[in-house]
Amino acid sequence: MEATLDKFRPQILSILRIMVGLLFLSSGIQKWFAFPVAMQAAANITLFSMIGIAGIIELVGGALVTVGLFTRYAAFIMSGEMAVAYWFYANRPARGFMPIQNGGTVEVLFCFIFLYLVFAGSGPWSLDALVRKKT
């Protein structure tokens, strides 16, 4: 059974990457285009604010990770963004030590998934893989 699981592992990595990228992209779209619903904290969004820069990272990084282009570099920036969001912007530790109490579980998960993508890359179903095949 383990051999079968191992065989499909790279493809599943690509599926994980696409899903995480899409979720991340959707927070960027919500901040900048108020879709599918407006975000209250982003009502008066400007480019050079904490939330504006976060939104740009989420738009660009989320799109890159979804299609799997420059995944490692994009994921590194996004992992860092989520760490900053957890520790500083949302200031989770001040709301309780445990993520279930301070509401930061999603940020922690994003942070560690992206950290793994920095090391694991984007898998076979990605533009990175297509580009590599040509060169």
Partner 1 sequence: MLDQVRATWAPHVLSLLRFMSGLLFLQHGTAKYLNFPHVAAFDNMTWNSMVGLGGIVEFVTGALLTVGLFTPIAAFLASGEMAIGYFTVQAPQSFFPIVNRGELAVLWCFVFFYLAFAGGGPWSIDALLKRK
Q: By CB under 8 A, name the binding residues for partner 1.
A: 2, 5-6, 8-9, 12-13, 15-16, 19-20, 23, 26-27, 30, 36-37, 72, 96, 98-101, 105-106, 108-110, 112-113, 115-116, 118-121
In angstroms, what is the minimal distance from the CB of 23 to partner 1? 6
Closer CB to partner 1, residue 18 or residue 64?
Answer: 18
In angstroms, what is the minimal distance from the CB of 17 to partner 1? 9
Please, is 74 exposed, middle or buried when counting C-beta atoms within 10 Å of its C-beta (0-12, 13-18, 19+)? Answer: buried
Closer CB to partner 1, residue 48 or residue 98?
Answer: 98
Matching residue, tokens 């200031």: 91
Closer CB to partner 1, residue 26 or residue 56?
Answer: 26
List b or e across 106-117, with b for residues whose CB sees 16 or more CB atoms inside 10 angstroms.
ebeebbebbbeb
In angstroms, what is the minimal distance from the CB of 14 to partner 1? 10
CA distance 32 to 13: 29
CA distance 90 to 86: 6
Asked if 28 contacts 58 with a C-beta cutoff of 8 angstroms, the reply is yes
Closer CB to partner 1, residue 12 or residue 131?
Answer: 12
Cis geometry, peptide bond prior to residue 36 (ω within 30 degrees of 0): yes
In angstroms, what is the minimal distance from the CB of 65 to partner 1? 13
Closer CB to partner 1, residue 26 or residue 63?
Answer: 26
